[in-house]
Amino acid sequence: MLAAVILSGGASSRMGSPKALLPYQGRPFLEHLLEITTRPEIGARKVVLGADADSIAKVIPLKANEIVINPDWEKGQLSSIQAAVRKLPAGTDGMLLFLIDHPLISSALVGELIQQFYKSRKPIVLPLYEGRRGHPVIFAASLYHELLRAPLETGARAVVWAHASEVAEVPTSEEGCVLNLNDPETMNRAIGEES
């Protein structure tokens, strides 16, 4: 069983409103990510909230056990990853890590990553678009302790670098895995191309 972790703890200052609630194909980013993580291989889901926790929780119907509040969200992405890892149920094989500003991911890509994780037995699996590594990333449970000890400055990248020879890359034609929708211009361009 895998856990899906969706990071949505930041302040969305460049975007001007919570990224989780921005519309994609007629519904919020977070709703799309929740849908593509509804799969038989995913037995637990955690959505990490921080800056806009109340406004997001009012709009998106999340179960109480899916919400992780990160009081240290201002410390950056790694603090949200660590908050999620501490709340994962025992017995997960690994976690699929999604970023709220990388929402243009298909269910098919998620399926390919999961398949490669179990087939390759590599501790890190990620998508590769035209030579660039993207998201979501699967971290095996054996790496949880390293994520909890990683330095805040480098974050989860430190764990990826430490296991450089053990990363399985899944080639994809989905540019969404590398598109970081951090500001209105990038978002409009990306979503305009999609439609």
pLDDT tens digits for range 132-155:
999 999 999 999 999 999 998 899
101-112 pLDDT, tens digit each:
888 899 999 999
User: Does the pTM of the predicted model rise above 0.75?
Assistant: yes
- Whether residue 81 contacts residue 5, with contact meaning beta carbons closer than 8 Å, is answered with yes
Question: In CATH, what class is 2-194?
Answer: alpha beta
Residues 6+ apart with CB under 8 A from 152: 75, 76, 78, 79
Contacts of 184 (CB under 8 A, 6+ apart): 15, 16
* Residue pLDDT, tens place only, 12-66: 555 556 778 877 778 888 999 999 999 999 999 999 999 888 888 888 989 999 9
110, 153 contact by CB (below 8 A): no
